[in-house]
Chains A and B, each alone.
Chain A
Amino acid sequence: MPAEFYYGVEVFLNGLMAGVMYSLVALGFVLIFKASGIFNYAQGIMALFAALTLVGFQEGQIPFSHLINAIFGTELHHFGWHMPAFFAILAALVIMIIFAWLVEKLILQHLVNQEPIILFMATIGLAYFMEGFGDLMWGSNVKKLDIGIPQGGNFWIEESTAFLGGPDFYGFYLDTLDIYATFIAAALVIALVIFSQYTKTGRALRAVADDHQAALSVGISLRAIWVIVWAIAGFVALVAGIMWGAKSGVQFSLSLIALKALPVLMLGGFTSIPGAIIGGLIIGVGEKMFEFLIGAPLLGGATENWFAYMVALVFLVFRPQGLFGEKIIERV
């Protein structure tokens, strides 16, 4: 086999792992959309906010320190301690659960039975609010997120595959962080599937997604379910925020990963958890392979920026429900 072939394989593997990262973001959208029919525009910001909070706790930053300093003329910045990653993650999770409860209490509760577009608009408002709130709480500088996952090329894989492609091939270059992310995402998805299939609350989540009135009649509190769904979406956002934040730093652009999730959702369907995963993988592999095989040699490169959206467009035309979404049947 020529070295080119193995480069192709390497691109494929990197595409898979990039796809996992897209799936992580798409998953948050699917969870909320399934249970409440809301397209949550704020999902990307939630990931950013979760990552900011995590870093804030880890670094012992004082929340709202800029605000406090501006008002009282103080010079507060740090508590002076560093929290271990594990506790910081738990604390960030608690914040995301409180956030879910507040969203239900302050927004959703007042918009029951409203049109989906109204709820969508509310999440846009929420996104802008959280963006400002996150800045105010933790500051707008770019932060480094490190919870102890090693980064950079994995030497072990590189060395043990170097023999494959002859003298010009130096082994597969895979980022260790991406490998971790893949396993964490897989564990997360398996846990979510088991939770939704085999527990009472999981069944209640699916029940609410199907029929509100019937759900009420068997004793399911819609409001409790919405808090749970948003809390789980917050948890998924936290995981996505950690992975993306560790990769590219915690800054505002982190929230734009949500844009990458859109084509994934078009492909996988808005209502399918497996769809979000497979959609993410297809987009990840597709854009890397397209760049490698066609983009770079024939089109001058940089096709990764638009490939996913083109695929989404094709799907919108020919299969609007996505690969795994529920079929749209209109009764006349």
Chain B
Amino acid sequence: MSMQSAQSAQGYVTADGRKIGGPVMEMENITLRFGGVTAIQDISFDILEGEIRAIIGPNGAGKSSMLNVINGFYHPQEGRILYHGEERKPLKPYQIAYQGIARTFQNIALFKGMTTLDNIMTGRLTHMKTNLLSQALWWGRAEKEEVENREIVEKIIDFLEIQTIRKTPVGRLPYGLQKRVELGRALAAEPSLLLLDEPMAGMNVEEKEDMSRFILDVNDEFGTTIALIEHDMGVVMDIADRVVVMDYGKKIGDGTPAEVRSNQAVIDAYLGVSHD
């Protein structure tokens, strides 16, 4: 179910033959301050439909702040955010989900007391329309809706190969699996933009490879546009189509992994050349 808009001038075709469409999100001159501290300074970039876009940078570069701006947790003081070509007004955090933006968190934010199945079901919330009264009485559409959404969730569970932990409270799962459940919950929303905050953080090599494979598969099978933040350059360079590099709240590089790798400013930032 890949969906590309052919009319876009900005689209391109990747090395492995995937067609990338027009912009899903455009950040224009974003500046974000916390009191006197400038977390993000005049940054512009776009995220195109169907691509895997990475934001990387050393610790404290402002990557998570950027993700929180995209996600609407933070409202930038300056700049415009265009979502599907339209300027986005400041929304409440919970309304972002209804715009089709789903995310995962750096320090896993799952509902620990709930089962894998229930966790992923909460991801379907934005697609469930029945009112409180019919739910309370388990009446009419509520039951049908529950069953339909359950089927979609089962597909995601199969896709992520977590069938065996379906009924396990997620608090008891090992770290790598929790990350996978969190990805499942975000996928359940069928997002038009999926945000991943350090999806590989704290994982061993094997878990990182698994997660990379799932991210690529999600993008390939569902055509989901993905923006991810990573701290570790290695993995990102393998899976991302284009990379934004941030350092001290500024953008210091933007382009394909190969371009970014050969960018002197990026190399300096990662090798820790002093800022003067």
Residues of B within 8 A of A (CB): 71, 73, 92-98, 102-103, 105, 109-114, 118, 121-126, 128, 130, 132, 135-136, 138, 142, 145-146, 185, 189
Contact = CB atoms under 8 A, between A and B. Distances in A.
Nearest to B182: A214
Contact of A217 (B97, B121, B128, B130): B97
A38 B142 CA distance: 30
Contact of B125 (A195, A198, A219, A222): A219
Given A199-B142, A199-B146, A216 B93 contact: yes
Interface residues of A, number: 26
B125 A200 contact: yes
Nearest to B132: A201
Contacts of A195: 135-136
A220 B111 contact: no
Interface string A197-223: 011111110110111011111111110
Nearest to B119: A207
A149 B162 CA distance: 51
A201 B137 CA distance: 12
A203 B135 contact: no
B138 A194 contact: yes
A211 B145 CA distance: 25
Contacts of B96: 217, 219
B65 to A, nearest CB: 15
B125 A211 contact: no
A214 B135 contact: no
A195 B130 CA distance: 14
Contacts of A201: 132, 135
B109 A217 contact: yes
A233 interface: no
7 contacts: A195-B136, A200-B130, A200-B145, A203-B121, A206-B111, A210-B113, A219-B126
B113 A202 contact: no
Contacts of B121: 200, 203
Contacts of A194: 138
A209 B135 CA distance: 19
